[in-house]
Amino acid sequence: TNALLFDERLGCYTWHSKVFVGGKRARAMLESRDLLHWTPPRVVLCADEEDPPDAQLYDMHPLPYESLWIAPLRVYRWRQFKQVEIQLAHSRDGRHYARTADRQVFLPLGTADDWDADYNICANPFFVDMGDELWIYYTGSRNPARGYEEWQHRIGLAVLPRDRFVSIDGGANRGVITTRPLDLMGDRLHLNVDAVRGQVRVAALDGAGQVLPGLGLDDCVPIDQNSLDVPVVWKDGRGLGEERRIRLLFELRQAELFSFWVD
């Protein structure tokens, strides 16, 4: 339940460890420049009123990924069997963490007869970057309380398309989301998106929220494909241009938006 990492972005070693808060397992973080002198443990995540009463946060080992830190979070439930499922946690600065996607299960347990029915543990580091795929190795096991003489352990591999940890989804009705102001370097906007059943359009806004000329929703060439990398194009092949501090407005219809970036 410990994870030690030299974090190049933070410029220090980070140690994520298990502590107890109110008698329940929780996650704490320490930092060091030399592996000898450490900051005091600081609680970064613990179970709260939005978790089931028997939930405890057993383990997580964050890994820098693009503009975030992402961690598999092992959530321990003891009431029926000793079960541990994998959710996600994330950070924008590497020091303050939040639960991801309304605490949905990320790596689900198997059925009662499966080899990973009760207990999942992701390897450290969390994933192996294979280009268009992220490979997640994990240990799965079954509780002997199901009628076995001992815990049964196997090694599994889960394969995730790049960036597709979480999506913002639009239904049959038009859905719109606007980002906070972003300082972007580059002219071409790219999306990781699945819109084969619908479409996505994008508008670029200035810092005051006004649509930039030629970069409105009606100027955007609709995206209706499933791809890890779709360039966004406005009329006449326009890109974002020289504007540097902007907001992006995404219109989604029957579509899932996973990530965006600019180059």
In tens, the pLDDT along 150-182 reads 888 999 999 999 999 999 999 999 999 999 999
Residues 6+ apart with CB under 8 A from 158: 107, 135, 136, 138
Tell me the Ramachandran region of residue 197: left when phi exceeds 0, alpha when psi lies from -120 to 50, beta otherwise. alpha
User: What is the rounded distance in angstroms from the CA atom of residue 13 to the CA atom of residue 36?
Assistant: 10
Q: What is the pTM of this model?
A: 0.90
pLDDT one-digit tens code per residue, 194-239: 999 999 999 999 988 999 999 999 999 999 999 999 999 999 888 8
CB-count burial class (<10 Å; 0-12, 13-18, 19+) for 9: exposed
Tell me the Ramachandran region of residue 218: left when phi exceeds 0, alpha when psi lies from -120 to 50, beta otherwise. alpha
pLDDT one-digit tens code per residue, 63-89: 999 999 999 999 998 877 789 999 999
Residues 6+ apart with CB under 8 A from 16: 2, 3, 27, 28, 29, 44, 60, 61, 62, 71
